[in-house]
């Protein structure tokens, strides 16, 4: 949001920068930035005054010609370069030199892809480019939207289009798409069309329209297991293994998410047993913090995932200590069987037996 406010302030005063480097990899914020920049420059997408190129196919010499071309329909020319960090070190150095030569009627936008492991020479050339942009333009960071920021964005977008989305349903929607902001907003657009002319977007609408990802199905299955809801848990289990093309891969991924969730519950259970205030986690005594699992980081989860925190805390409250211990043992035994380190059956049946056992352990779950 800070980026958007800064762009608005610029539009009220200074002219646009001649060069922008958009770091980070949040597609929602990138798209919004480009939309606002086009509006400021009064450049229509795919017009004669806009050029969108791929650095893997476009030498820097060609870029130089593009930014030097005088606009034909308006006052500005916009040149957008994707995959800019895939240039060779030599080309990156040439691009760093070009940055200072962009004319005032042009705007060059550099969009890197997700960073790979780079050689020291490439890192050095990239640093030169970043320094050049900072001197002659702007580096704009677009951090990934996560958690509450995604839910807030969903509710804002729904409201802007005359719809009402409750906070708990915004949380649920983003959980179904693994918290990916762009995917969540795309699904929201489908929901807005689906409920029209009704104003309220309901939980039933989300379940009817949004197809959960494989990871979301795993978490739905885990929720059903911990609630002792055998029909729902087995339904989600079947959907997982029907959709997956490789049972071994599906089994290992599902088991990994199961293990992570039960370790998280173990950590929350430990905090509850030591009567730690879960609304004041910075005061957790070091001797207790050392006993918590390293992965996932329980304290970070409780601080950064407020939309899931209440549910996980309640799940931990409902578990008996012996049931939690036996569940972790069953997960470890299944892990060994899947990896061929212990006797077992095929991956699908191994996971089905584990789910049944976890359901049995959850059936008498409330502790005294």
Final residue of a domain: which of 99, 123, 141? 141
Q: Does the residue 368 lie in any domain?
A: no
Angle of helix 321-338 relative to helix 247-273, nearest 10 degrees, comes to 160
Q: Does the residue 215 lie in any domain?
A: no
Q: Which residue has the higher pLDDT, 12 or 311?
A: 311
Computed over every residue of the chain, the mean pLDDT equals: 88
- Please report the pLDDT score of residue 244 as a whole number: 57
pLDDT at 165 over 90: yes
Q: Does the residue 65 lie in any domain?
A: yes
Q: Does the residue 299 lie in any domain?
A: yes
- Please report the pLDDT score of residue 3 as a whole number: 42
pLDDT at 11 over 70: no
Domain CATH for 176: 1.10.8.60
Cβ partners under 8 Å of residue 83, min gap 6:
54, 55, 56, 111, 112, 113
Q: What is the dihedral of CA 260, 261, 262, 265, to 10 degrees?
A: 120
- Please report the pLDDT score of residue 154 as a whole number: 95
Give pLDDT tens digits for 201-241: 999 999 899 988 888 888 889 999 999 999 999 998 998 88
Final residue of a domain: which of 83, 107, 141? 141
Q: Does the residue 62 lie in any domain?
A: yes
Instruction: Report H helices in 166-243.
Output: 167-176, 181-195, 203-209, 214-226, 230-243
* Whether residue 92 sits in one domain with residue 202: no
Final residue of a domain: which of 126, 141, 156? 141
Give pLDDT tens digits for 247-271: 898 899 999 999 999 999 999 999 9
Q: What percent of the chain has pLDDT over 90?
A: 62
- Please report the pLDDT score of residue 119 as a whole number: 56
> Which pLDDT band, with edges at 50, 70 and 90, does 115 fall under?
low
**Domain with 204 in it:** 148-209
Domain CATH for 335: 1.20.272.10
Q: 53 forms bridges with which residues in the sheet?
A: 81
Q: Does the residue 169 lie in any domain?
A: yes
* Whether residue 205 sits in one domain with residue 231: no
User: Which range has the worst mean pLDDT, 44-58, 92-106, 342-356?
Assistant: 342-356
- Please report the pLDDT score of residue 2 as a whole number: 37
The full length of the chain comes to: 368
* Whether residue 205 sits in one domain with residue 236: no
Q: Which residue has the higher pLDDT, 314 or 98?
A: 98
- The answer for 110, left when phi > 0, alpha when psi is -120 to 50, beta otherwise, is beta
- Please report the pLDDT score of residue 301 as a whole number: 83
- 9, exposed or middle or buried, with CB in 10 Å at 0-12, 13-18, 19+? exposed
* Whether residue 357 sits in one domain with residue 224: yes
- Please report the pLDDT score of residue 153 as a whole number: 94
* Whether residue 163 sits in one domain with residue 59: no
Q: Which residue has the higher pLDDT, 348 or 179?
A: 348
pLDDT at 322 over 80: yes
The total number of structural domains that make up the chain: 3
Q: How far is CA 129 from CA 85, 125, 133, 143, 196, in A?
A: 10, 6, 6, 20, 48
- Please report the pLDDT score of residue 88 as a whole number: 93
- Please report the pLDDT score of residue 13 as a whole number: 52
* Whether residue 152 sits in one domain with residue 132: no
- Smallest Cα–Cα separation from 353: which of 328, 334, 327? 334
Structure letter (DSSP) for residue 341: S
- Please report the pLDDT score of residue 9 as a whole number: 44
Taking residues 5-32, report their average pLDDT: 76
What is the H or E stretch that residue 201 is in? strand 200-201
Domain CATH for 11: 3.40.50.300
Cis ω before 239 (30° cut-off from 0):
no
- Please report the pLDDT score of residue 243 as a whole number: 64
- Please report the pLDDT score of residue 286 as a whole number: 86
* Whether residue 81 sits in one domain with residue 192: no
Which tokens sit at 59?
């030498």
Q: Which residue has the higher pLDDT, 181 or 306?
A: 181
> Which pLDDT band, with edges at 50, 70 and 90, does 300 fall under?
confident
* Whether residue 168 sits in one domain with residue 302: no
Cβ partners under 8 Å of residue 317, min gap 6:
272, 367
* Whether residue 64 sits in one domain with residue 22: yes
Backbone angles phi, psi at 311, to 5 degrees: -65, -45
Cβ partners under 8 Å of residue 308, min gap 6:
171, 175, 301
* Whether residue 226 sits in one domain with residue 176: no
Q: Does the residue 214 lie in any domain?
A: no
* Whether residue 99 sits in one domain with residue 49: yes
Q: Does the residue 49 lie in any domain?
A: yes
Taking residues 31-52, report their average pLDDT: 95
Taking residues 140-151, report their average pLDDT: 88
* Whether residue 131 sits in one domain with residue 160: no
> Which pLDDT band, with edges at 50, 70 and 90, does 73 fall under?
very high
């Amino acid at each position: 949001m800070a980026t958007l406010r800064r762009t608005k302030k610029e539009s009220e005063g200074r002219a646009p920068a001649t060069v922008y480097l958009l770091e980070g990899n949040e597609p929602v914020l990138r798209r919004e930035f480009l939309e606002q920049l086009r509006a400021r420059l009064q450049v229509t997408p795919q017009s004669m005054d806009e050029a969108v190129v791929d650095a893997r196919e476009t030498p820097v010499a060609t870029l130089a010609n593009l930014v030097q071309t005088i606009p034909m329909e308006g006052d500005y020319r916009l040149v957008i370069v994707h995959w800019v960090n895939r240039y060779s070190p030599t080309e990156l150095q040439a691009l760093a030199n070009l940055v200072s030569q962009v004319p005032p009627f042009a705007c060059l936008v550099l969009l890197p892809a997700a960073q790979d492991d780079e050689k020291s020479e490439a890192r050095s050339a990239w640093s030169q480019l970043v320094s050049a942009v900072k001197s002659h333009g702007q580096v704009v960071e677009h951090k990934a939207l996560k958690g509450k920021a995604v839910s807030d964005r969903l509710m804002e977008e729904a409201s802007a289009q005359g719809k009402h989305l409750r906070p708990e349903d915004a949380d649920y929607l983003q959980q179904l798409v693994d918290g990916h902001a762009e995917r969540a907003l795309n699904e929201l657009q489908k929901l807005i069309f689906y409920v029209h002319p009704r104003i309220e977007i309901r939980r039933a609408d989300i379940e009817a329209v949004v197809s959960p990802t494989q990871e979301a199905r795993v978490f739905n299955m885990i929720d059903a297991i911990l609630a002792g809801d055998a029909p729902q848990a087995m339904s989600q289990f079947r959907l997982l293994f029907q959709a997956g093309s490789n049972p071994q891969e599906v089994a290992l991924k599902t088991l990994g998410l199961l293990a992570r969730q039960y370790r998280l519950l173990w950590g929350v259970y430990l905090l509850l047993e030591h009567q730690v205030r879960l609304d004041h986690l910075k005061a957790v005594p070091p001797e207790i913090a050392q006993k918590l699992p390293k992965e996932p980081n329980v304290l970070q989860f409780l601080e950064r995932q407020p939309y899931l925190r209440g549910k996980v805390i309640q799940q931990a409250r409902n578990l008996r200590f012996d049931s939690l211990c036996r569940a972790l043992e069953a997960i470890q035994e299944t892990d060994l069987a899947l990896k061929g380190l212990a006797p077992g059956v095929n991956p699908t049946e191994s996971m089905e037996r584990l789910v049944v056992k976890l359901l049995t352990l959850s059936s008498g779950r409330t502790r005294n």
